[in-house]
Structure 1
């Protein structure tokens, strides 16, 4: 499904396949060829002599002066075209400079967004670890002490037993809430078991929450050695896509596909590009779909696009009313390895 989308790199490569200066020399060659052809035809058929004989009878109208006038007009038009050409060149250079500046600013903004996301995920992981290590053990100790109080007061003080049971229930409730916070801050098993296991756990959770929906997860390839930024981006991409399914298509059939495969090398790219593989993620459902031409209030798709493009990837969306929804992302597997977060 991912191959059906046009890639910006391929369109840019086709646009730059032919340098501008080659078209200039080609057009100049055509002009010179027509000039030589006109000279050959003029010398063969004596156009000047024939024109003189034809216009000799119109001397009172000064028609014989027309070639000189046309020559001056052609020189003036050439000068006019040259002036317009210079202005167009200046305008083109100015626009190119603005485009380069806009591209640099966009690249800086994406690097900044990528750094902010990495810092955010780093803080989330740290906070989840602190919640689990610090609060978790104390809540467990409270629960054990309350169970001990309950056992000791079982035959002596019913009121103490009731308070102990309530204390155990409160500790269990807080522990479950902290567990939910930890799962939202940092996916379960992502650091210990890897991305495929974390995605399977995520999909299993949505199977329990959306029993009317059908989920199919397919993962192909080796996903070890990825950067933390890329791993969490792929996970958040699938997580946000499933969240959108729960909002707009809770009874749909959902297919999640993720593969790590060699990158398709475009014509004109260096051979080194073939040594870098990429990860393709697609998430499709047969829900009601949306009209992408209409503005949307949600920021989920925008956030997903920014995450993917901040790592140098491509993000595409396809949908239509009553036609389902498709999300496709392509990210280089080496993304994020050069900029670790401390």
Structure 2
């Protein structure tokens, strides 16, 4: 055997005739196979357990333990049952082909050996074994990939629920907090107005509770929530604008110019971006002017949300969950989100979606 070349396969020959062992071993080693030889079934079984070969050439008529018995034991063992076994038989011997295949043999060769025939039969079985190994590896990779996809789907669903909780519940709680703070400030000097703000706060508290219940329902049912609840996008945005006006005293300018109705997914994302943007404005911006615009172009859908408030340093606000949620929602539909802001210079949010998402 040429040891400078990699082995073409590990073959075990089991035959009680030394001349057969020498002939087959020489033949196979010259062709690049790694060959081991034993003269009886018991030794073969021990060697196979210690180092399973890629293929076994097994003589049928051996004393003490026949080739049939050796094959049956190997096929009964999960660790060795996949090893292909080619039986060896002499032309003048009684060879039960049906029994040979019944006990697990895959092929047979006869003495005297024809070199080309032996090599072809061996290589055929080794090829089948290699293909089986490749198939098993591919199936394992597929299982691993499917598991990874399932894990990613679960993670995405958790992120979606987290975004929905943040967007809907966060929006209500911020408004609730503003109402309560205003009521406290007015309590001594104007109890009637304070009472009105507390009444509004109670309504917002009910909405927050409903948002919690909806999120719990989503988690249980694993169904994406629809914040529009059957409303047209324009109606849902108008409600957000009125709530913002009622809470802050600032009435946003709103321009929606759509050439066609939008799909539910894009409607939900647009609504959530505007909702989160308005929430951030009255939490942090102290803006006196706010504008919202949605329009379609020949190749995209464009949403802009702008205010003249405090602004912030973009580089210092990359980890906020609200901005992160906006980016994730936009990216999930193949869009791009751009946020420009500076301290004292307000904030400008642009979300652009390809026509294919609309």
Q: Same fold (TM over 0.5)?
A: no
Shorter chain as normaliser: what TM range?
A: 0.3 to 0.5
Structure 1 length as normaliser, TM-score?
A: 0.41
Q: Which has the higher strand share?
A: 2
Higher helix fraction (1 or 2): 1
Structure showing greater Rg: 2
The structure showing larger relative contact order (alpha-carbon pairs under 8 Å, at least 6 residues apart) is: 1
